[in-house]
């Protein structure tokens, strides 16, 4: 009994010495802005149980900002389902540290916590994190940040398990899954809430009035006094490192349940900002995709209607070179189709954009309930078609909103491996009814947002706005893409000549004024009858003729044009942008060898490596003469697609 008592005494004494050393070093450390994560080595291994796969990492002799005496090992893992083709969670368990049943994520798996979509949304992860002591919190942050490093993810996915698992791990989209999960874990871990800083200051003897989670003048004064008493720079940011320094002074480094702050009871003081170094090289990636485009480039907008939705049954998936949708980090095109047959893979030249709901919020769904958006959601009704359901306005004109949206965009691009973002309703006058703003206020707000996004995302990431029929002159300095949603009022069967001339002007204006690289996605709506959309079917001669005219305009006028000749939004009650993939979209005469050659009003062409493409908006036929002397007559309101074959040139029918 004496020997057991002596062993316990020695154990507790060593534990006390370790705590004292950790507290001493943390309190007197000069670096309280950046986490210190050091380890001797890390080993990666994996195992398979049926269709389930687990990749684990064990770190040896670890030091964090809360640990000065190394702990021998720390293990965490990533769980996936090979049948579903995804990694879906980060796992902490008994190999990480003891986890009480009351904060386990699943009552059927006590002692384990899985970080994934549901536990992040419902607050379970923050409850788990707040319960853990500061040492364990520092470990959670450190290992999650470790896996933002692509090289470490490559090492982990290179482990040898069995042939099926190896084949599964060979798909690149799993690396993006793992990185996204790591970021999802890290971001809430890095949040510092006002209530927690207030509690620590109060326990340290500083007077700050009522501890209510709202950061005011008294709280600011108390913090500044804390800094002054310890000769800490007043510019020091409020990070989790600073919070743990305060906890160390109070001897709380190994005490559970010291934090209480959540998004519902406290103001958020600071959060992780995604560093640009974690984003991909947009200049290289986007330039390569633009340079490798074909002659005609077709795009998809959102899901694109029931008949042509973005799913594996669509035989034309690999033909689209621009696509956007509202992603939640789970179904981006590049990831969704990496593992399917080559005939249904997406194009390697696909520009993949994330559509962010920046100005509105749907009350009946969660996909646009972005972290931190609550503070900007108003009770103002957002006015649009009833088919979209109840929607409220987001206070995008708030002074802090551009910075918030920019961080959200960076997070989105990292999670989704996207090439940029898409902003719907990027039309100042269309914002007035739902917001009550004056036109100059709307212009100021969108300009501030565009400028902040460009600064945050860098010079080459795509920022594409739905400008509709408008000439947006205030934000073209910052955005480098436009969606020309060429709306027709219900019952208007076809565009008139003046409207088509305006389309030409829009193409020219944005090609001259957008930030580089300039992308123009042109979306004219097909000829149709109200309440009887198939009376003039998409494959009718008239629709094929208009499809060729608008396609020719989208290719000839701008440098980087895309086309979507689609259904009218009013053709169906619940689906927009259904379309036909026309055979002539595969017309291939190589890349352009000239810029836009304007022959006359509403009439021009562009030379390519093996032919030319021309258009004529006018109500009468026109004739053009190529540099080689060839003459071609183009009928009224039509597009001409011609291929050089030896000494002759063959043109497609106009309809």
State pLDDT tens for residues 614-628. 999 999 999 999 999
**86-100, 185-199, 319-333, 473-487: segment of lowest average pLDDT:** 319-333
Cα separation of 469 and 576, whole Å? 18
* Per-residue pLDDT, 315: 63
Cα separation of 112 and 91, whole Å? 7
- Give pTM, 2 decimals: 0.72
Element (H, E) at 354: strand 351-355
Could you tell me the pLDDT band of residue 335, with boundaries at 50, 70 and 90? very low
* Per-residue pLDDT, 13: 46
Six-digit token string for 523: 């979306």
Beta bridge partners of 622: 634
**306-310, 406-410, 584-588: segment of lowest average pLDDT:** 306-310
Could you tell me the pLDDT band of residue 11, with boundaries at 50, 70 and 90? very low
Six-digit token string for 296: 């005609």
Determine the average pLDDT of the residues in 596-603: 95
Determine the average pLDDT of the residues in 70-96: 93
Q: What is the sign of the dihedral through the CA atoms of 220, 222, 227 and 231?
A: positive
- The highest-level CATH class for domain 298-311+350-586 is alpha beta
* Per-residue pLDDT, 278: 60
- Residue 478 confidence (pLDDT) above 50: yes
**245-249, 302-306, 513-517, 575-579: segment of lowest average pLDDT:** 302-306
- Residue 61 confidence (pLDDT) above 80: yes
* Per-residue pLDDT, 180: 85
* Per-residue pLDDT, 416: 73
pLDDT in tens, 129-154: 999 999 999 999 999 999 999 899 99
- Residue 12 confidence (pLDDT) above 60: no
**CA-to-CA separations, 358 to 195, 367, 386, 422, 443, in angstroms, rounded:** 29, 12, 19, 10, 15
* Per-residue pLDDT, 500: 97
- What percent of the chain has a predicted confidence (pLDDT) above 90? 67
* Per-residue pLDDT, 617: 97
pLDDT in tens, 210-268: 899 999 999 999 999 999 999 998 888 889 999 999 999 999 999 999 999 998 899 88
Determine the average pLDDT of the residues in 338-366: 76
* Per-residue pLDDT, 273: 65
Could you tell me the pLDDT band of residue 328, with boundaries at 50, 70 and 90? low
Element (H, E) at 113: strand 113-115
CB 66 within 8 A of CB 134: yes
- Residue spans of the domains in the chain: they are 1-272, 298-311+350-586, 603-651
- Residue 24 confidence (pLDDT) above 90: no
Higher pLDDT, 12 or 52: 52
Determine the average pLDDT of the residues in 76-94: 92
pLDDT in tens, 371-388: 888 889 999 999 887 777
Cα separation of 137 and 134, whole Å? 5
**84-88, 124-128, 196-200: segment of lowest average pLDDT:** 84-88
Could you tell me the pLDDT band of residue 196, with boundaries at 50, 70 and 90? very high
- Residue 368 confidence (pLDDT) above 60: yes
* Per-residue pLDDT, 274: 61
Does the N-terminal peptide bond of residue 517 adopt cis geometry, omega within 30 degrees of 0? Answer: yes
- Residue 77 confidence (pLDDT) above 80: yes
Could you tell me the pLDDT band of residue 58, with boundaries at 50, 70 and 90? very high
Region of 491 (left: φ > 0; alpha: ψ -120 to 50; beta: rest) is: left
**136-150, 332-346, 492-506, 572-586: segment of lowest average pLDDT:** 332-346
- Residue 523 confidence (pLDDT) above 70: yes
pLDDT in tens, 271-298: 666 666 666 678 888 999 999 999 999 9
**Cα-flanking dihedrals φ and ψ of residue 166, to 5°?**
-65, -45
Furthest-apart CA atoms within the chain: distance in Å:
109
Q: What is the sign of the dihedral through the CA atoms of 32, 33, 38 and 42?
A: positive
Higher pLDDT, 279 or 185: 185
Determine the average pLDDT of the residues in 361-366: 86
Could you tell me the pLDDT band of residue 574, with boundaries at 50, 70 and 90? low
């Amino acid at each position: 009994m004496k020997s057991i008592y002596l062993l316990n005494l020695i154990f507790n004494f060593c534990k006390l010495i370790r705590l004292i050393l950790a507290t001493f070093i943390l309190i007197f450390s000069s670096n309280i802005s950046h986490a210190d994560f050091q380890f001797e080595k890390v080993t990666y291994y994996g195992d398979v149980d049926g269709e389930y796969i687990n990749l684990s990492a064990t770190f040896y002799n670890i030091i964090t900002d809360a640990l000065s005496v190394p702990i021998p090992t720390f293990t965490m893992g990533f769980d996936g389902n090979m049948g579903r083709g995804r990694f879906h969670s980060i796992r902490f368990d008994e190999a990480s540290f003891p986890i009480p049943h009351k904060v386990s994520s699943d009552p059927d798996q006590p002692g384990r916590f899985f970080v994934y979509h549901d536990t992040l949304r419902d607050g379970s992860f923050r409850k788990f994190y707040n319960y853990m002591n500061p040492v364990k919190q520092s470990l959670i942050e450190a290992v999650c940040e470790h896996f933002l490093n692509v090289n470490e993810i490559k090492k982990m996915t290179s482990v040898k398990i069995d042939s099926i698992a190896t084949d599964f791990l060979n798909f690149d989209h799993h690396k993006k899954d793992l990185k996204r999960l790591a970021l999802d874990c890290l971001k809430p871990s890095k949040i510092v809430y006002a209530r927690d800083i207030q509690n620590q200051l109060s326990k340290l003897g500083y007077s700050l009035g009522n501890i209510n989670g709202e950061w005011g003048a008294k709280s600011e004064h108390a913090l500044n006094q804390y800094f002054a008493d310890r000769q800490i720079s007043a510019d020091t940011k409020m990070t989790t490192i600073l919070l743990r320094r305060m906890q160390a002074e109070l001897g709380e480094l190994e005490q559970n349940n010291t934090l209480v702050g959540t998004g519902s009871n406290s103001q958020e003081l600071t959060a992780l900002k995604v560093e640009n170094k974690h984003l991909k090289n947009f200049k290289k990636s986007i330039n390569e995709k633009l340079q490798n485009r074909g002659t005609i480039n077709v795009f998809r907008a959102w899901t694109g209607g029931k008949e042509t939705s973005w799913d594996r049954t669509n035989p034309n998936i690999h033909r689209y070179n621009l696509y956007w949708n509202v992603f939640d980090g789970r179904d981006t095109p590049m990831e969704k189709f990496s593992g399917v047959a080559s005939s249904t893979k997406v194009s390697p030249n696909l520009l993949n954009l994330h559509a962010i709901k920046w100005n509105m919020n749907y009350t009946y769904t969660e996909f646009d309930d972005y972290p931190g958006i609550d503070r900007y959601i108003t009770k103002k009704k957002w006015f649009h078609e009833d088919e979209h359901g109840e929607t409220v306005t987001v206070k995008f004109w708030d002074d802090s909103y551009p910075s918030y949206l920019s961080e959200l965009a960076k997070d989105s691009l990292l999670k989704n491996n996207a090439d940029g973002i898409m902003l719907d309703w990027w039309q100042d006058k269309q914002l007035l009814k739902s917001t009550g703003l004056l036109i100059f206020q709307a212009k100021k707000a969108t300009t501030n947002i565009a400028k902040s996004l460009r600064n945050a995302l860098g010079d080459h990431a795509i920022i594409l706005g739905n400008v509709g029929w408008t000439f947006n002159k205030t934000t073209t300095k910052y955005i480098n893409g436009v969606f020309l949603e060429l709306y027709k009022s219900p019952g208007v069967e076809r565009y008139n000549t003046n409207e088509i001339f305006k389309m030409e002007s829009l193409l020219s204006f944005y090609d001259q004024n957008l930030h580089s690289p300039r992308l123009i996605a042109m979306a004219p709506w097909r000829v149709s009858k109200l309440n009887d959309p198939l009376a003039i079917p998409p494959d009718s001669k008239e629709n094929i003729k208009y499809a060729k005219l608008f396609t020719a305009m989208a290719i000839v006028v701008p440098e980087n044009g895309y086309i979507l000749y689609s259904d009218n939004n009013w053709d169906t009650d619940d689906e927009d942008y259904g379309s036909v993939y026309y055979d002539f979209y595969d017309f291939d005469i190589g890349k352009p060898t000239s810029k836009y050659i304007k022959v006359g009003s509403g009439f021009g062409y562009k030379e390519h490596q093996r032919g030319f493409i021309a258009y004529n908006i006018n109500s009468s036929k026109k004739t053009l003469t190529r540099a080689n002397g060839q003459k071609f007559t183009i009928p009224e309101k039509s597009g001409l697609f011609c291929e050089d074959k030896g000494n002759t040139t063959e043109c497609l029918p106009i309809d």
